[in-house]
Structure formats: structure tokens, C-alpha cells
Amino acid sequence: MTLPDSSVTTAPKSTRQHLLQLPVLVAALGYFVDMYDLFLFSVVRVPSLKALGVSEEQLLPEGVFLLNMQLAGLLIGGVLWGVLGDKRGRLSVLFGSILLYSLANIANGMVTDLNQYALLRFIAGVGLAGELGAGITLVAEILPRQLRSYGSILVATMGVLGAITAYFVADLFAWRMSYFVGGGLGLLLLVLRFNVFESGLFETLKSKPVERGNFLKLITHPPSLRKYALAIIMGIPLWFVVGILITFSPEFGRHAGLAEPIVAGKAVMLAFAGQSVGDIVSGLLSQRLQSRKKAIRIFILLSFAMMLVYLLAPISQTSQFYLICVGLGFCNGYWTLFIVLAAELFGTNLRATVATSVPNFVRGATVPLTWLFVSLKPSLGLTNGPLLIGGTVVLCSLVALNFLEETFSKDMNYVEG
């Protein structure tokens, strides 16, 4: 069902004018905050836990517990904010999510025990869950179809700046102050959003007798559920790389026989930096090929090739290991393009629900993947176990991508039946 065009005839805008609209910039800044928080926790996990009295042997299990609490928040928040974005509007999510995240992060800098830390990581996860999906939805609906790839490039660029900022903030300040900075950045972004206008497609939809944001309908309507499940499966290799290969890089470094230990924070920073550059390249490639699917397929195959290098290549120096981490991140660089595709797959009445929940379900896949990784480690080791998991998720993602429609030139002005 296509909605009537509500656009007003005005002088055509240049590409730069389209991309530098305040809603597009503010949506991109949401990814800045997203990447800042994800990277910051990876860096401050050890010093913050030590400051709270966690013993050396408990650093890994307690760190995994905190990460899982944040991922649980992302999963729940992904659904809640997505439904709210379709029922009340994209701006309601952009305001509510950043406020909740900012207050939780400021409170994170004040924790005195592990239970408080876990609760606030969960709340911060709920808040952060709405940022990227709502932002991508707004960008997809505001920009002309031929510029949506460039929109994803802009969002990705802000993401790398967020990761780099977190790296330097954590290096310059103590872990508590790093959380305060993150909360302060979120509040500054909240102020910027007061001048942002709502998506015109959503404003038009509000006057129509169409049900919006019905998550149950999404998972009980077979055609919608099929698209939704395929979109999630397509993205799981992304967080296999981040959640296992990069997160446990110190263990993989020791397994490779490196004399100098791998610093997890450095590996994460390099991988995120590589991923953000890859996001830019995949957006340009999508634009050049006039296809989302072709660009994503190329990057999935590149990612699998780099997994093989990471797990099988003889590595004798830490510099080589870190370089491979950059390569893994770069080949993982179809994250924003994957979310754009997910947003384009669904009508305006379900778009925010999908674009916000899908990436968080993919992030949440880290939990079963990590469990599988730990379970297979005693029998298959640190090479064959990850090879089996990685090969399986890559194969499933390629099959899922094959069954999804091409959305590059798809008109966003329609509703889901």
C-alpha cells in the first residue's frame, strides 16, 4: 500500500544540502554516541572492575556478566524503542533514548559495587538501543533514494569518530570521568535535537487509519516474519567477529604464541576504526553497484577470508596481529549498510520497529555465540571451534541474503500490509 506524496514542491537541493540537514547530522551523531559507549566499556572494563574489588581471576567472568547485562538491555530496548518510534514518531525515540542513556552513563561513573554497575549497564543498554535504528530510519525516510547510501556513509564516519574519542578519553581520564564525558556528550546531543523535525513520511502516516508499531503482527504475519528473521540472520557474522574474535583477542594472541600480550582495548579500537572505514567503502560500493545485496555479499565473503587469516595464518609479531584486527574490522564494514537494508525492507508503519530491533538482536546473538565458543573450546580448541562457528554463521548469512529483496531503489513511501 503506497501513501500519498505529501512533499511540497521546492527548489531542488544539492547532495551536500541533503546530507547536511540537521536531522541527518543529529542521527549520525547518535551513532557517534553508540560507538563511544561500546568501545569505552571494552577499554574500562578491567580498570573499573579492579577498582570495585574484583579479583584477577574473576575479571573475565564478571566482565562477561556486565556485557551480557548491557546486551540484555539492548535487546529489550531495541523492541521497546522500535515500537515507540512507529507509534509516537522517530523523534520520540531520539529524545527518550539519549536522555536515558546519558543519565545512566553519568550514574555509571558513581557506582560503588558490582550490582549497581550491572544494573546501570543494563539501563544504559536500553537507552542506547534506540539510537542507531531510529537514526537510520530517519535518514532513510528523509533522504532521496539515490542518496541513502551516502547517508549511511555519513553515519559510519561519525561512528569512527565516536570510537576514536572514547579511546583518547579513556587514555586521558580515569574510568569514572570517561563515563561522565559519555553522559555529557549525550546531553549535548539531546539539546541539538530540539530543532530536529519529524520524518515527513511518518507525519503523513499519522493521519491514515493504519496500525503502527505492532511487534506481534511483525512476528505472527508469515511474510513479515520471514523478512525479519532473514535480516537478523544476515547480520550475525558481524557480531561473531566483534563478540568472539576481537573481544577474546588476548586469548587468541596467546594461542598464536605471541610473546607480547595483546591488549584487548587496542584490538577493539583498531577493529572499530577498520569497521568504520569499511562502512564508508561499502556505502560507496553500494552506490557504485546500485545494489545493497551485492555490496553486502562482497563484504561477507571478505570477512570470512579475513577470519581464516586470523585463525590459521602463522603470526609471529603483535603488530601483525593488530593489523589483522584492522582487516577484520574493515571487512565487518557493512554494519550501517545492513541496517539501512533492514529499514528499507519494511513499510513506514513498521520501519522503526525493524531498524531498531534487528541490529540489537544481532548484537544479542553474541550471548549464544559466546556460550557455543566456550562450550566447544575444550574439544575443538581455539582454532577449530571458532572456524566451525564462523563458517556456519557466514553460510547462513549468505543464504539469508540471497532470499532478501534488493532495496537500493525502493520507494520508502508505503506501509506494510
Neighbours of 355 (CB within 10 A): 32
Contact 212, 82 (CB under 8 A): no
**Burial category of 64 from C-beta neighbours within 10 Å (exposed 0-12, middle 13-18, buried 19 and up):** middle
Contact 248, 254 (CB under 8 A): no
Contact 79, 357 (CB under 8 A): yes
Residues of the chain with confidence (pLDDT) below 50: 4-10
pLDDT at residue number 95: 85
Closest residue by Cα to residue 95 from 57, 135, 50, 38: 135
Residues counted in the chain = 417
**All domains of the chain, ordered by start, with CATH?**
15-195+213-403 (1.20.1250.20)
Helices in 143-221 by DSSP H: which ranges? Answer: 148-172, 175-192, 200-206, 215-220
pTM value?
0.82
Say which residues have a Cβ less than 8 Å from residue 35's Cβ, sequence separation at least 6.
Answer: 159, 160, 162, 163, 166, 272, 276
Phi-psi region of 219 (alpha: psi -120 to 50; beta: other; left: phi over 0): alpha
**Burial category of 347 from C-beta neighbours within 10 Å (exposed 0-12, middle 13-18, buried 19 and up):** buried
User: pLDDT, tens digit, for every residue of 172-223?
Assistant: 999 999 999 999 999 998 888 887 777 777 777 777 777 877 888 888 889 8
Q: Which amino acid, residue 237? A: P
pLDDT at residue number 75: 87
Closest residue by Cα to residue 175 from 37, 42, 48: 48
Contact 246, 303 (CB under 8 A): no
pLDDT at residue number 216: 84
Say which residues have a Cβ less than 8 Å from residue 127's Cβ, sequence separation at least 6.
Answer: 73, 77, 97, 98, 99, 100, 101, 102, 103, 104
pLDDT at residue number 313: 92
Q: What are phi and psi of 143, to 5 degrees?
A: -80, 150
pLDDT at residue number 81: 87
